[in-house]
């Protein structure tokens, strides 16, 4: 192992096998750093010590695979390299075998500057040799192992479910696999094992988990991949708290495996409170919450500023941003995405000079120090009455529009000024459970209610009777686990009764026939004695990305796809032969 030699090994014989990481030819002496996944050790080929081996070492080039056999020696004090664990020793070579030569690679694993990402993905095997990637992939292994161990210790079985299945209900597009033996029919790759894990509860396995690949054909962003890995679990007879405890348990184990202690239980927050305080259902608790400052203005102020006094007036505070230039203030405007007529006052200094009373009150109420950035988000005076179908909700759609506009701006400002406020430190992990989501969302385009989660999520027991009469007010027994503004996972207590499942399908506007043709097998299974059950799924890639402090999921997935859903190394997807298409009974239509 190239990273394992220590001063106590001095005098011993050793064999190092690995790649030539770097070669320095000083004439009479050649130094070669040999690298494997455990680290690097310096090997010395000295003409004086062994002329034949020294001569052979002249052939060595970067990324050759070699075996060096020799004696471990302490380095002279002035040549000790404190930056690496093997820096106090070196191997004096008696023998050198070149196990394989290497073409000069397009970039070197030891390069200090990173190659462009296309290059890295095309030559992924070289990229994966880099220390940072070796670290990330090992971290991923350790995290997954810790999760498996923890869940197994709690009585969960890891059970596999099919990849070739039928369309599942997570709401994205399916990846389809054509059937050759039944031409014209298709399997779908699972968007999640949702229905299988529920069926495993009906099958009597009471605690299931799986670290499993899921496939969703959707537009990709930095934190999305067409195939990604979930820690999927399901259990029989749980209250939500049991699911939360289980998740907190395996996350504790996972974070410990990565060297971090986390505190449990995680705080919990109602969806409505998350919206009112943070304007988003995945609050980043590292930044201050909003302050509602409506009461800091007089009726006259509202009029002059054309603020709607019946809607929230939200102060966003970002600490320690300091004085902003005119241009920096102007830059805030395009960061603001207005929903429902929401407006932004990015120049708080102007409010303070024109409305000194209100300004002082706001500063005080928001606890804003002189160098904190304060930005206000308000409703416009003309925003109309709320006759929306969800108008009776605790947070009305008109209020939601303001909170949501402010929420996005808060996140964007938090990111932009991260270096100034210094609140985003690696290792500061703020977890949160968000609960009591609304069961339905109103689709403005289709003018109908749609499931906010997948349609197997159970409504609150007390809200059952409102399913048809007042869908806006039905809460779901659903929960999300959030970390530093990222949704790590979501789950729910499920519907376990066939009559209620039918009712939900009906409330979602699905006809009896549609429900039967899509989920008939499942509705039937529910009729054969289904225990109450619930579960959750968390994104493994995201967890590892956060633990690695990485910017993108691609840094923690060995063979990821690009934003255009391509694998640049194997060059997929590709056209297939006419014979393959003929076999499948498929013709290609040019779009
Ligand atoms: N199947 C859900 C998802 O993939 C998670 C769950 O409800 O357990 O998001």
Q: Would you state the pLDDT for residue 508?
A: 84
How many angstroms separate the alpha carbon of residue 435 from the centre of ligand 1? 15
CA of 197, closest atom in ligand 1: 8
Distance of CA 324 to the CA centre of its chain: 32
Q: C-alpha angle 292/317/321, rounded to 5°?
A: 165
CA of 234, closest atom in ligand 1: 8
Locate all alpha helices (DSSP H) within 77-130, ordered by sequence: 117-122, 124-127
Give pLDDT tens digits for 279-308. Answer: 999 999 999 999 999 999 999 999 999 999
| Strands 39-46 vs 89-100: parallel, antiparallel or unpaired | parallel
CA of 192, closest atom in ligand 1: 4
Rounded Cα distance, 340 and 404, in Å: 10
CB atoms within 10 A of CB 570: 11
Give pLDDT tens digits for 182-208. Answer: 999 999 999 999 999 999 999 999 999
> Which tokens go with 316?
């966003």
Q: Would you state the pLDDT for residue 115?
A: 85
Closest residue by Cα to atom 8, ligand 1, is 536
Q: Would you state the pLDDT for residue 8?
A: 95
In the chain the first and final C-alpha atoms are separated, in Å, by 55
| Cα atoms in the 13 Å half-sphere on the side-chain side of 565 | 12
CA of 457, closest atom in ligand 1: 7
How many angstroms separate the alpha carbon of residue 37 from the centre of ligand 1? 36
How many angstroms separate the alpha carbon of residue 390 from the centre of ligand 1? 25
Place of tokens 């020799």: 70
Single out the residue of 333, 352, 358, 354 nearest to residue 344, CA to CA.
333
Phi, psi of 85 (to 5 degrees): -60, -25
Average pLDDT over the chain, rounded to an integer: 94
Phi, psi of 581 (to 5 degrees): -65, -40
Q: Would you state the pLDDT for residue 384?
A: 58
How many angstroms separate the alpha carbon of residue 491 from the centre of ligand 1? 5
Ligand 1 pocket (Cβ < 6 Å) reads: 170, 192, 194, 490-492, 535-537
How many angstroms separate the alpha carbon of residue 198 from the centre of ligand 1? 11
Is the pLDDT confidence value at 72 over 90? yes
Is the pLDDT confidence value at 385 over 70? no
How many angstroms separate the alpha carbon of residue 425 from the centre of ligand 1? 30
Element containing residue 436 per DSSP (H, E): none
CA of 230, closest atom in ligand 1: 4
Rounded Cα distance, 517 and 475, in Å: 27
Q: Would you state the pLDDT for residue 383?
A: 63
Closest residue by Cα to atom 3, ligand 1, is 537
Q: What is the pTM of this model?
A: 0.94
CA of 478, closest atom in ligand 1: 7
Give pLDDT tens digits for 338-364. Answer: 998 999 999 999 999 999 999 999 999
Closest residue by Cα to atom 7, ligand 1, is 491
How many angstroms separate the alpha carbon of residue 192 from the centre of ligand 1? 7
| Cα atoms in the 13 Å half-sphere on the side-chain side of 532 | 9
Rounded Cα distance, 216 and 230, in Å: 12
What residues are paired with 315 via a beta bridge?
291, 376
105, 136, 414, 279 alpha-carbon torsion, rounded to 10°: 120
How many angstroms separate the alpha carbon of residue 171 from the centre of ligand 1? 11
How many angstroms separate the alpha carbon of residue 456 from the centre of ligand 1? 10
Mutate to test the pocket of ligand 1, among 161, 165, 454 (most ligand atoms within 8 A of CB): 454
Rounded Cα distance, 161 and 524, in Å: 19
The residues near 562 (Cβ < 8 Å, ≥ 6 apart) are 117, 118, 121, 568
């Amino acid at each position: 192992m190239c990273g394992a030699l220590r001063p106590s090994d001095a005098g011993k014989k050793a064999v190092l096998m690995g790649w030539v990481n770097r070669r320095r030819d000083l004439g009479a002496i050649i130094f070669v750093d040999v690298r494997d996944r455990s680290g690097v050790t310096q090997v010395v080929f000295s003409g004086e010590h062994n002329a034949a081996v020294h001569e052979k070492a002249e052939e060595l080039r970067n990324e050759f695979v070699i075996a060096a056999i020799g004696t471990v020696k302490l380095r002279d004090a002035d040549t000790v390299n404190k930056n690496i664990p093997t820096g106090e020793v070196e191997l004096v070579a008696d023998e050198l075998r070149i196990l394989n030569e290497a073409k000069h690679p397009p970039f070197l694993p030891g390069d200090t500057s990173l190659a462009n990402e296309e290059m890295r993905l095309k030559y992924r095997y070289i990229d994966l040799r880099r220390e940072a990637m070796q670290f990330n992939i090992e971290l991923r292994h350790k995290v997954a192992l810790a999760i498996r161990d923890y869940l197994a210790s709690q009585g969960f079985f890891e059970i596999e479910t099919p990849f070739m299945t039928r369309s599942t209900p997570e709401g994205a597009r399916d990846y389809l696999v054509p059937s050759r033996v039944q031409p014209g029919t298709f399997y779908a790759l699972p968007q999640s094992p949702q229905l299988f894990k529920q069926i495993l509860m009906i099958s009597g396995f009471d605690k299931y988990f799986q670290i499993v690949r899921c496939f969703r054909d959707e537009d990709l962003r930095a934190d999305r991949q067409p195939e990604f890995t979930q820690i999927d679990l399901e259990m029989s007879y749980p209250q939500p708290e049991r699911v939360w405890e289980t998740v907190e348990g395996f996350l504790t184990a996972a974070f410990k495996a990565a060297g971090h202690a986390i505190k449990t239980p995680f705080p919990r927050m109602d969806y409505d409170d998350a919206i009112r305080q943070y304007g988003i259902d995945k609050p980043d608790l590292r930044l201050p919450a909003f302050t509602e400052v409506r009461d800091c203005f007089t009726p006259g102020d509202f009029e002059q500023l054309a603020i709607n006094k019946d809607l929230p007036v939200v102060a966003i505070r970002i600490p320690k941003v300091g004085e902003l230039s005119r241009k920096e203030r102007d830059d805030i405007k395009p960061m603001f995405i207005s929903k429902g007529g929401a407006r932004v006052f990015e120049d708080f200094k102007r409010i303070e000079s024109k409305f000194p009373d209100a300004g002082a009150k706001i500063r005080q109420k928001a606890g804003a120090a002189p160098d904190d950035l304060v930005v206000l988000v308000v409703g416009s005076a003309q925003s109309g009455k709320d006759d929306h179908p969800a108008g009776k909700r605790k947070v009305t759609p008109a209020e939601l529009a303001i909170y949501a506009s402010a929420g996005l701006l808060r996140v964007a400002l938090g990111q932009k000024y991260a270096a100034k406020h210094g609140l985003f430190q690696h290792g500061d992990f703020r977890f949160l459970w968000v609960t009591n989501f609304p069961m339905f969302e109103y689709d403005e385009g289709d003018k109908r209610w749609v499931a906010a989660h997948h349609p197997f999520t159970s409504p609150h027991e007390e809200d059952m009777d409102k399913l048809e009469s007042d869908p806006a007010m039905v809460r779901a027994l659903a929960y999300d686990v959030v970390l530093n503004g990222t949704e790590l996972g979501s789950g729910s207590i499920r519907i376990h009764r066939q009559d209620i499942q039918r009712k939900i399908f009906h409330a979602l506007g699905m006809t009896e026939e549609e429900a039967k043709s899509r989920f008939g097998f499942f509705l039937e299974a529910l009729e054969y004695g289904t225990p109450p059950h619930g579960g959750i799924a968390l994104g493994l890639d995201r967890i590892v990305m956060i633990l690695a402090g990485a910017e993108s999921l691609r840094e923690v997935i060995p063979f990821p796809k690009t934003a255009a859903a391509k694998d640049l190394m194997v060059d997929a997807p590709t056209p297939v032969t006419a014979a393959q298409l003929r076999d499948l009974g498929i013709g290609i239509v040019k779009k």
